[in-house]
Amino acid sequence: MMKKLLLLLSLSSVFALAAEIKNVDYSCGAKDCSLKFQFSSAKQLPNFFQKFDASTHKLTIGFSDTKFALGEDFYALDSDSKGIRDVRVYTDASFKVPLLNFEFTVGPDIHSEKNPVSLSKGKNFVISLPKVKSSAWSLQKVAAKKAAVDKKSKADSVKAFQAKSAAEKKAIEDSIAQAKKAKADSVKTAKAKAEADKKAKADSIAQAKKAKADSLKAAKAKAEADKKAKADSIAQAKKAKADSLKAAKAKAEADKKAKADSIAAVKQARLDSIREEKEQAQKKVVSALIEGIQGMTGIQGNGIEQFRIDTDADIDLSMVQNREKSSIIQVAVPGPKKTPMFNVSTSNIVKSVTWMSTGLRIQLQKNVQPMILVYKGTLILQISHKSKVPGFICYMAKPEGVFVRQWRNPASSAESFADFSKNMDSDKKQLVTVSQSFGLRPVARNLIVVAEMTPFLASPSEKAQELESLEFGTHLEDIELDGLYHKVRLGSKVGYVNRRSVSFPDELSAVQSERLKQIAIEKGGTLDSNAVRFDHPIEERVSYSSFGRRDPFVEIKGLMEDGINIDQVELVGIIWESEEPLAILAETKNPSVSYAVKEGDRILNGKVLKITQTDVLFLLQEFGVSRRYSMSLPDKYGRDAK
């Protein structure tokens, strides 16, 4: 539409003479506001158009082939008005007929290009606009005021330039004066320096003469001191020689006396030893065990039964022979050639124990085939037990007596050795000793920090106050488990730690145990010396650990429908930052097959017991025996996982 209007203007203006606008006025009445364009002559009125741009709030009024007496310029009128705020006057020569454009920036009350147009007094072109509250204005007055402001600004600029020129001139004069003064000061300084150098040279010559005299004096004094020191040294050497002869004589006499005292002490010690041996022989108690055995222990409870034998010599698994389809176990361990038979009536595993020329002979109960374990030189026999009664019964035979402790009823009294031996065969040698009580003491729940750092909190919440920060290896006393947190005691303080950051001693991986041992050695102790001591044990924990190695008595099988076989997978990663930690296991022979497990997931013959930042601990139950098996990632010290 705009292009068609401009085309009509360009065609019609060919026959018109150029028009001229002298002034533009704006005023508001009772009904509307008038925008008046004053032409020089009513005979030369041009064509016009209106255009409103809503996006820029611009109202453009154009006249064909027209000039403006005040010239092209920008005029600021009323920036807060809801009507006309400013105007830009310019000529658009991009068409065949030049257009004089008045581009008004308008307020929100003007929003259309369809504004009524009329002629007033023949030569005044009037556009009616919506009524607004705005001051009247005339572009002649606005232009005159602007010219006055520009003239004043120009005068101020000239004045400022003159002031700047005067200041620069004064600065140049001051600079010349300062240069002259600096030159005079430099000459004065050079003269003073020459005089100072002359004086310094004279002082240096004087000091050199004085130093030479002092050196000669010091050399003379040194020669005299050396002469005196030589004389003193000769005198001291003579005195030292005399003292040495005297000390040698005194030492010879002391050695003679010490030799005599030593001979007397040896004689007295021999007499004391003979007397002590006699007294010990008189006080010696008949042993409750056969010679060569330190102790025998039997434990029953929770579906298992275990029999343990400790001998004076260490036992290795290669020494143990179990004849198939027989009830005899031979242990080729050095000991007495022959001893009386020790009958065991309280065990469902062992019937009797005796020494033969080939070693230790163990008679098993009828139709019993136990699992045989050797741990730290101790022989352990274990079977599944039919009884499911909670708790434990412990039978322990030591050289000083035989004791029984029923953990089901801690208040029960210990059975005497006399009662224990009533069931022995009457034709066998019975060993009698003084009866003593024996208590199976529960093991305290000792927690160990396995994270590098973990907060010790005032309450079981991650937003709780942090009492302090605990390092790897810190030992704590466990009080109770509260959801995700263990309530623990550290010295006299009671607080909470995240259960994912701590482990019980029997849940430690091989890598963690090795690190704890190293820390203990560095502190001058052992792993046991780091343990927390408790006055009131609160729970008994019985466990068997594989110490990071596969149990050689368990048959290797492939992956089964009832779980993952941990003997055929390896630990490749641990996702720790999730709400529940996950362990990533991959098959050893086919790494493309992997599994993600969490705490409590079932595996072949067991379950996932615990996941830490570096290790996964499994609880396995095979042939009625519970054992723990751990897998570890390579730690930051470069050790491989076990």
Q: Which tens digits make up the pLDDT trace of 6-34?
A: 444 444 444 446 789 999 999 998 889 99
Q: Is the pLDDT of residue 442 over 70?
A: no
Residue 266 phi/psi, 5-degree rounding, is -60, -45
Q: State the pTM of this model.
A: 0.29
What pLDDT is attached to residue 629? 85
pLDDT category at 171 given cuts 50, 70, 90 is: very high
395's CB contacts (< 8 A; 6+ apart) are: 297, 298, 299, 346, 347, 402, 403, 404
Mode of pairing for the β-strands spanning 66-68 and 19-28: parallel
Amino acid at 26: Y
Mode of pairing for the β-strands spanning 393-398 and 378-384: unpaired
Helices and strands (H, E) in the chain, number of each type: 4, 36
In the numeric block, the tokens 């150029």 are attached to 18
pLDDT category at 280 given cuts 50, 70, 90 is: low
What pLDDT is attached to residue 335? 86
What pLDDT is attached to residue 633? 81
What pLDDT is attached to residue 526? 54
What pLDDT is attached to residue 430? 35
**pLDDT: is 412 or 191 the higher one?**
191
Instruction: Read off the pLDDT of residues 422-437 as tens digits, 9 standing for 90 and up.
Output: 544 444 333 333 222 2
- The half-sphere exposure of 396 on its side-chain side, counting CA atoms within 13 A, is 18
pLDDT category at 313 given cuts 50, 70, 90 is: confident
Residue 237 phi/psi, 5-degree rounding, is -60, -40
Residue 362 phi/psi, 5-degree rounding, is -115, 120
- The answer to whether 142 touches 128, Cβ cutoff 8 Å, is no
Q: Which of 59-73, 493-507, 589-603, 627-641 holds the top average pLDDT?
A: 59-73
Domains of the chain in start order, with CATH, are: 2-135 (2.60.40.790), 162-284 (no CATH), 293-423 (2.60.40), 446-530 (2.30.30.40), 543-642 (2.30.30)
Q: Mean pLDDT throughout 82-90?
A: 92
Average pLDDT score, the chain: 79
What pLDDT is attached to residue 438? 29
**pLDDT: is 447 or 538 the higher one?**
447
Structure tokens at 305: 């039964």
Rounded to an integer, what distance in angstroms lies between the CA atom of residue 25 and that of residue 454?
A: 82
What pLDDT is attached to residue 376? 75
What pLDDT is attached to residue 273? 72
What pLDDT is attached to residue 635? 58
pLDDT category at 638 given cuts 50, 70, 90 is: very low
Cβ-based neighbour number of residue 333 at 10 Å: 21
Rounded to an integer, what distance in angstroms lies between the CA atom of residue 399 and that of residue 404?
A: 14
Closest residue by Cα to residue 289 from 161, 172, 168, 421: 421
Amino acid at 627: R
Instruction: Read off the pLDDT of residues 521-568 as tens digits, 9 standing for 90 and up.
Output: 887 765 544 444 444 443 333 333 344 444 444 444 444 446 788 888
pLDDT category at 277 given cuts 50, 70, 90 is: low
